[in-house]
Structure 1
Amino acid sequence: MGKIRISLLAKELGVKSSLLIDKCHEKGLTHITHHANTLVSEQAEMIRQLFQPGAKVTPTKEEPKIKEVPVSHAVVEQKKAEKTTSQAGGVKVIQPSKIVRIPKSAPTPHQQQRVVKMTPVKTYWKKKQPPGVVSFRKKEHGGEVVESKKPAVKEKETKVVMEPPITVKDLSSKLGIRANEIITKLLLEHNVRSTINQILSEEIVQLLGIEYGVEIEIRKKEAVGERDFMAEQVSTKAEDMVHRAPIVTFLGHVDHGKTSLLDSIRQTNVAAGEIGGITQHIGAYKVEMHGKHVVFLDTPGHEAFTAMRARGANITDVVVLVVAADDGVMPQTEEALNHAKAANVPIVVAVNKIDKPGANSLRVKQQLASLDLIPEEWGGKTQFVETSAVTKKGIDTLLERLLLESEILELKANPKNPARGVVLEARLSEGRGVVANVLIQEGTLHEGDIILCGRTFGRARLVTNERGLEVQEAGPSTPVSVSDFSEVPEAGDKFYVVSDIQRAREIAQERQKKERETSLAKHQHVTLDSLYSKIAEGNVKEIKIILKADYKGSVEVLKKALEELSTPEIKVRILHCGVGGITESDVLLADASDAIVIGFYVTTEDKARILAEEKGVEIRLYKIIYDATNEIKAAMEGMLEPESKEVVLGQVEIRQVYNISKFGNVAGCYVKTGKITRNASIRLIRDNIIIYDGKLESLKVVKDDVREVRAGFECGLKIANYDDIKVGDVVEAYEVQKIARVLTV
């Protein structure tokens, strides 16, 4: 049997719920007292019949009561109201007073008992009416009555347009409904608890619109995309396109010689300045050969830098896969190869360290051939070059192959257009502010250009090349360092040169607002469905970390590496991460949340160091990423619950049972194997069935208390809180050993 709520039935009939409740009471349905009460189908149909055409419906509000007097009294009142102030000209002036309407015909005895309504009437002289009030005169019984018409009521809007995020306050303003009413409706009818600033989901907003009889169109503001900036290009002519330098990325396993090989190419010594000889950041360098240029991206090879390698492969034209001839293909080599394949770019293999003993280039080719990377001499499409960073063997051949690949790709760009490209890295620099290393992919960047990059913007006040020299402009396929952004951009963000700084600011602020809204929308309140999972999470241990690093890319990579250490038992939770040194704010946050502070290639401010000592906050500083991950891993292993291992100590046979008053049953025993100790746990076994598990109360040899008795000796024992022992029972002594666990990710 179907049911319908009073509020929904009232909406269907176009009347108020209070009127519907009154009608229910008239029909004997006295249990209906609230708009949330329900009616069965037969009752609802009975109420509907009352509102069919021809049925008289009582108005919801009573008409204002009007003073009523008998006709005989009304005539007297009229005479009192008529005061003659002047008889000149036979003009009678009626002073403002209460005028009663009297029937035109003479009153009959029956009419004298009628009730005449008295209505207040305004004076007949003119007054300045407020805007929207229409005045008119009406003659009645020889006198002039001035009546005024109220302003026309504004019709209720049937359709409104709103942009997300939509709060209760926004909805109240648009619909003209009090916020308290909306909050109450959400709670009573939809079981949704909300506040006036609560962001509502689109489904709830649409549902509320239907219930209030208003069509709500949710119109999302379109984000400014790449096509909008492409429309600002100065020239799209084919004759303006010029050849640009290829962008080459070095990928491969750690310590296979990527940086050393690149170092030999650009005649610098970057690897010597890297801690542990491992590249920690993405670098971009431009090299000239035979009048042509090649741009190299050097990405780290350590497995923790997977995200950085992926970004390098996505913005590159050609990938150089570096494989050590003595090591062969390693796990990170396969990983780098997958990134290159995903980017759909040509691959050139550099078989490095060919000068080392044990080098075997044939084995490398065989291994890569099994990964669908077949050399040209074997009928494939992949070029293999044997190189050595020490003897510089094969360096020129490698460059020639790269230039050949770029000619086949026919790489072109238009230098006349506004610059656009990708952020390789960004950091806070003392004296220069926010500095971003960018790679220009299209157009030309000039000093002073307005740059929009993700949710940040600024002017290119200082542009320097990879050697630190200031340049006035930089064309396509050029890596440069740009200063003066409003905040640190994200590595991998696209940047565009725009004409108006106000537009750049508005777009950046809109993107920031959208990010905040997204984060707010992701926040979920505890519901009955999630309550049990929240309680279960209370048993999960976690290590809380505040992470600071010198580069944005380092923050991302270290954050990912630490979070991947999480297990079902222990979680690594990054409370805050950012670029720059460790400040007092970081220490205060760590103190409040019981977290540790990890710094990578940064220092701690003096005030922050003093505060950390006062609060007992631990600060760890690192220069190699895997040192940080290893120490956190060790700390997590210390938090793991140790494994319990049961070790049997020995077995004792009961040969005699003695009943001692006030003590209970005592067993005379013989230790058959191992030993029995006073503090050991014991099991009482009868016919190979365990009938009791507990502890010993006492262990004696003759009359002396002892700590242990070994095999071949007799003893007496008393089992704590248990007396049901018999001759022939076996007492097995054991202990539970705790074994430290090793973290397996």
Structure 2
Amino acid sequence: MQGKMVTINQVLDDDTIGTICLQFNYDFRKEKVVDAAHFEDIEIHDDPKNLSVRPPVVTIMGHVDHGKTTLIDAIRSSHIAEGEAGEITQAIGAYQKEVHGQKITFIDTPGHAAFAAMRARGADVTDIVVLVVAADDGVMPQTVEAIGHAKAAKAPIIVAINKIDKAGANPRKVKEELMQHDVIPEEFGGDAICCEISAKKGIGIDELLDAILLKAEMLELKANPNRYASGTVLEANLDKGEGPKATLLVQNGTLQATDYVVVGDLYGKIRRMTNEYRQVLKSAAPSTPVAVTGLSGVPSAGDRFMAFPSEKEAKEIAEKRALAKQAQAFAGNSGVSANDFYAAVAAGTNNDVNVVIKADTDGSAQALKASLEKLSTDKVKVKVLLAQAGAISDSDVLLASASHALIYGFNVRPDARVRQKADEEHVEIHLHQIIYELLDEMKAALAGKVKVEKVEAVTGQAEIRHLYKISKVGTVAGSYVTSGVLKAGEKIRLLRSGVIAYSGQLGSLKRFKDDVKEVKEGYECGLTIENFNDLKEGDVVEGYELVEKK
């Protein structure tokens, strides 16, 4: 361990501890501490006789403009039970509907990124995903993305084929397209229930709700209502009048309005507990979403919570969790790396690898998916969670983080914001332009081999904002350096909507009329690209260098 600088109070990571133990002939075994302060890790095994059927928790997902919001509104306005308020007056991110005397909980997620973000924090809250697909539009990019998220969460999919009343509606075509993404309708021998609906006209809504109840019955969803409550934060905000306010989904036990609650490293006594109609509740059973006030701060969506009988116990647990959080932040989190995976395969401790693929074309994405999956062996399976055309996005990073996956980009690049997000989530992004090199890397991973490779390190990015045609020079791009440093003569890629449009070399760099060797972040410049003039406003010029990575 020579050469590694540490302080006497520094928390060491597992790899370092293992290396030191090996050097001094000590055995090293990592065990999880499971106590009340680590309640996320507690596996509850209730006596079956104490379990009761609970309502299913459903998330509605789909491509933009395919009618997700209209469907949510249609469900809200249908089956209004006697004594139930007809209009939801409080946007708490979730609501319940009663159908044939049975409740269904719907999570109104703001988007796929939010869904993945909760999973990235270890919160699998959804039992069933309703995938909305327009009958006249078919499977679109965000449809594929939603399928990837649902499969990664291991949540069964019910397909709502919407807009069947429109001219050009073709439900059969939609089903055939879904089969290309491993969503097999029941009529073709699969397990995906498909309901044909018109959310706008209210057609098929009852059948969809019946399908949800049927799937829930098949899943045999149960929980023990007779214990202190635990669950997940769906939303949270700082309310001007009420202070910290959080939407909690009770997943086990029953939350009482008099309970003390620990959320993350926060705690507090519930001051007020209400439902989506602002009705004050005394208790909340499993699968019930509630808005609560009284916490000592604003938690994050995806945080786990647990109820405790006394303030003393809740405060003590919260303080322990705060200390553990500080220690983890100090030690750092290694996340998932390719070399971690190589080592795990070599040691025989890893049985599969999850992969997210983004490529410049759908054809390339699907070809890579097929090629990577063919590399699976008896010992290690390659599981492609998402294979899609387009730039690498925040949502892709969150999906990879939640699923402990590697991201492979083919002829696409992440922008600076996405790279930062990947760093924060400890997600590795591997970028390639030659298919066989990507496949060779995966073959090496499956063989458990660690090799020295050349990887690209981004040095800077600039956005092209104006174009000038100059005789004998060509096209000069008036640009603004958004991150890092651009250097004259360095290797560059030209990105158009996140996809590589050209790879080459940076020509001249000018500040005003002067030639300069480099331009730093926050400064404007004029630039040319060697042997390339097909530039457009909005293009991004990205400089990079090749460095060795082991």
- Does the CA contact (< 8 Å) of 2:10 and 2:330 recur in 1? no
Matched, 1:385 2:182: no
- Counterpart-to-counterpart distance in 1, 2:142 and 2:312: 46
Alignment partner for residue 247 of structure 2, among 410, 414, 437? 437
Aligned residue for 1:290?
Answer: 100
Tell me what 1:174 maps to.
none
- Point out where structure 1 has 5 or more consecutive residues left out of the alignment: 1-185, 269-280, 525-555, 578-634, 650-734
Q: Deviations over 1:308-345 (max 9, x none)?
A: 68889932222211101111101111111122222223
User: Could you say which residue in structure 2 is the equivalent of 1:320?
Assistant: 130
2:33 aligned partner? 222
Q: Hey, what does 2:503 align to over in structure 1?
A: none
The residue aligned with 2:539 is: 742
In 2, are the aligned partners of 1:249 and 1:298 still within 8 Å (CA)?
yes
Q: Which residue of 2 aligns with 1:416?
A: 226
User: Helix, strand or coil: the match of 2:463?
Assistant: helix
Task: Tell me: CA distance 1:566–1:264, structure 2 relative to 1, closer, same or farther (3 Å).
Answer: same
Cα distance, 1:428 vs structure 2: 1.2
- State the partner residue of 2:341: none
Maintained 8 Å contact 1:387/1:394: yes
> Using the alignment, how far apart are the partners of 1:737 and 1:240 within structure 2?
72
Cα distance between partner residues in 1 of 2:193 and 2:14: 55
Q: Which of 622, 638, 642 is matched with 2:463 structurally?
A: 638
| Structure 2 residue ranges without an equivalent (≥5) | 79-90, 335-393, 400-406, 425-459, 475-530, 543-550
Q: Which residue of 1 aligns with 2:313?
A: 503
Change (3 A) 1:742 1:508: same
Amino acid at match of 2:286: P
Identical residues among aligned pairs (%): 42
Deviation sequence 1:39-76 (CA, Å, 0-9, x none): xxxxxxxxxxxxxxxxxxxxxxxxxxxxxxxxxxxxxx
Give the letter aligned to residue 493 of structure 1.
D
- Encode CA deviations 1:388-427: one digit per residue, 9 max, x unaligned: 1121000111111111112222222222111111111111
Q: Distance in 2 between matches of 1:346 and 1:306?
A: 16
Deviation of 1:369 after TM superposition, in Å, equals: 2.0
- Tell me by how many angstroms 1:500 deviates: 3.4
CA distance in 1, matches of 2:30, 2:196: 59
Residues 522 and 286 of structure 1: is their aligned pair in 2 closer, same or farther, counting only changes over 3 Å?
A: closer
CA distance in 2, matches of 1:285, 1:312: 22
Letter in 2 for 1:742: D
Residue number among 487, 493, 497 corresponding to 2:297 in the alignment: 487
- Give the 4+ runs in structure 1 shifted more than 4 A: 190-211, 215-221, 227-231, 301-306, 308-313, 556-561, 564-574, 639-646, 735-741
Cα 1:265–1:507 shift into 2, 3 Å: same
How far residue 522 of structure 1 moved from its aligned partner, in angstroms, is 3.7
Q: Is the 8 A contact 1:287 1:295 kept in 2?
A: yes
Partner amino acid for 2:106?
F
Matches within 5 A, 1:169-188: none
CA RMSD of aligned residues (A): 4.7
Q: CA deviation at 1:220?
A: 8.7
Secondary structure of the 2:155 match is coil
Partner of 2:301: helix, strand, or coil? coil
Cα distance per residue 1:266-325 (max 9 Å; x no partner): 119xxxxxxxxxxxx982111011111111122234668753688899322222111011
Give the one of 447, 470, 473 matched to 2:257: 447
Cα distance change on mapping 1:354 and 1:444 into 2, 3 Å: same
Within 5 A, what are the aligned runs for 1:325-340? 325-340=135-150
Q: Which amino acid aligns with 1:512?
A: A
Distance 2:93 2:133 in 1: 20
Aligned to 2:167: 357
One of 52, 55, 59 as aligned partner of 1:245: 55
Q: How many residues are matched?
A: 365
Q: Distance in 2 between matches of 1:203 and 1:249?
A: 39
Call closer, same or farther: CA 1:451–1:204 in 2, change over 3 Å.
closer
Specify whether residues 496 and 204 from structure 1 end up closer, same or farther in structure 2 by C-alpha distance, changes over 3 A only.
closer
Structure 1 residues 191, 417: CA separation in 2 closer, same or farther (over 3 Å shift)?
Answer: closer
TM-score, normalized by length of structure 1?
0.42
- Counterparts of 2:269 and 2:158, CA distance in 1: 38
| Contact 1:645–1:737 (Cα < 8 Å) also in 2 | no
* 1: CA distance, partners of 2:177 / 2:15: 55
Q: Is 1:351–1:361's contact at 8 Å kept on the other side of the alignment?
A: yes
Structure 1's 374 and 505: CA in aligned 2 closer, same or farther, altered over 3 A? same
How far is 1:490 from its partner?
Answer: 2.2
Kindly provide the amino acid, as one letter, of the partner of residue 540 in structure 2.
L
Q: Report the residue type matching 2:275 in the other structure.
A: N
> Superposition pairs for residues 97-496 of structure 1, below 5 Å?
190=2, 222=33, 224=35, 225-226=38-39, 236-267=46-77, 283-301=93-111, 306-307=116-117, 314-496=124-306
Q: Give the aligned residue type for 2:285.
A: G
Q: Any conservation in 1 of the 2:11–2:327 contact (CA below 8 Å)?
A: no
Q: Is the 8 A contact 1:249 1:312 kept in 2?
A: no
Post-superposition offset of 1:444: 0.8
